[in-house]
Amino acid sequence: MIQAENLHKRFGALDVLTGATLEVRDGETLAIIGRSGSGKSVLLKHLVGLLTPDEGRVLVDGTDINAISYEHLRTLRHQFGVLFQGGALFDSMTALGNVAFPLRTFTDEPEEEVRRRAEEALARVRLQGTAPKKPAALSGGQRKRVALARAITLEPRYLLYDEPTCGLDPQTSNTINDLINDLADDLNITSIVITHDMHSVLAIADRAALIHDGVIHWSGPTGAFAESDDEVLLDFVRANEYQIGVPSPTSKNGARERNGEKQLAGGVPVS
């Protein structure tokens, strides 16, 4: 279980987090939603100790990650996999090299076994063919999937995704959403997914937390969106609905196709 308690973070004159409190339960998939610049990535970086809060704490299974030694933190981080927004692949290595890197670094397994496991991870994200390619020769969506394969090679308990479908076409987005679901089910991974995309939220998440004005403004099961009368949440959902749910004169085909998302389209009244 990951708990963030009363996190405060300020950059210069900018208060990004002003008391964010969040709980991630074992086995669930939590979506963190919020407008651009609201501090989602900053919050995520706090959860793995890449940023230190000015105030408040982060507990991973009860351990305050900012109160332990760097060595201890590094051991604890083995339980985490993070998919960064741009993939953060090592550009000096091939796709296979990237995926094999954690295995080569942290296990004593023989080379054949490392290759086998790396290839298996690549197969899981359906990218067998790209093994010998360097990141520069991959598309954005492929890079994200290779990064995902790299994040799962050491079988983490927690997987953190920073906007996994941002900037991808709907089909590729769906592939990634399916992958997130598969990984959560097959490997029993607890997932935290930052996203702008309401379609993804409904496709993958059990619960959602909305970050607004530096705090978790609303959180609850995704099924509860429809009953909520929280204005900020409704604004966010409506803005998305406008994008993906309602057929508009300018985007007939795309909008109708994705209109199959009934929960969203039918659940919330559109003003």
Partner 1 sequence: MAALTRRLLRPVHTLGKFVMLMAQAVSSIGEVSMYRKNLISQMTKIGIESLPIVSLAAFFSGAVMTVQTAYQMTGPFVPKSVIGSIVAPTMILELGVVGMAFVLAGRVGARIAAELGTMRVSDQIDALEVMGLNSVAYLILPRVLAGVIMFPVLYVAACTIGVGGGIVAADVGGYLSAEAFVQGAQMYFNPFDPFFGLIKAFVFGFLITSISCYKGYYTSGGAEGVGDATTEAAVASCVFMLFADLLLAAAFL
Ligand X SMILES: Nc1ncnc2c1ncn2[C@@H]1O[C@H](COP(=O)(O)OP(=O)(O)OP(=O)(O)O)[C@@H](O)[C@H]1O
Give residues in contact with ligand X (CB under 6 A): 11, 14, 16, 34, 36-42
**In the complex, least distance from residue 30 CB atom to ligand X, rounded to whole angstroms:** 15
Q: Total binding residues for Mg ion by CB under 5 A?
A: 1
- CB under 5 to 8 A by kind: which of partner 1, ligand X, Mg ion, none does 236 bind? none
Q: 205, 193, 201: which is closest to 244 by C-alpha?
A: 201
Rounded to whole angstroms, how far apart are CA atoms 92 and 73? Answer: 27
With contact defined as beta carbons under 8 Å apart, do 268 and 241 qualify? yes
Q: Which is nearer to Mg ion, 11 or 106 (CB)?
A: 11
Q: Which is nearer to ligand X, 42 or 99 (CB)?
A: 42
The strand pair at 80-83 and 158-162 is best described as: parallel
Q: 16, 23, 7: which is closest to 220 by C-alpha?
A: 23
DSSP output for 139-178? -HHHHHHHHHHHHHTT--SEEEEESTTTT--HHHHHHHHH
Q: Is 68 in the site for partner 1 (CB under 8 A)?
A: no
**In the complex, least distance from residue 165 CB atom to ligand X, rounded to whole angstroms:** 12
Contacts (CB under 8 A) with partner 1, residues 89-108: 89-91, 101-102, 105-106
- How far does Cα 121 stand from its chain's mean position? 18
With contact defined as beta carbons under 8 Å apart, do 79 and 107 qualify? no
Q: Which is nearer to ligand X, 29 or 41 (CB)?
A: 41
Q: Is 41 in the site for Mg ion (CB under 5 A)?
A: yes
**In the complex, least distance from residue 75 CB atom to partner 1, rounded to whole angstroms:** 7
The strand pair at 55-60 and 29-33 is best described as: unpaired
Helix or strand holding residue 27 (H, E): none
Q: Which is nearer to Mg ion, 43 or 95 (CB)?
A: 43
**In the complex, least distance from residue 114 CB atom to Mg ion, rounded to whole angstroms:** 32
Among 24, 82, 127, 179, binds partner 1 (CB under 8 A): 82
List contacts with partner 1 (CB under 8 A): 45, 48, 50, 70, 74-78, 80-82, 84-86, 88-91, 101-102, 105-106, 154
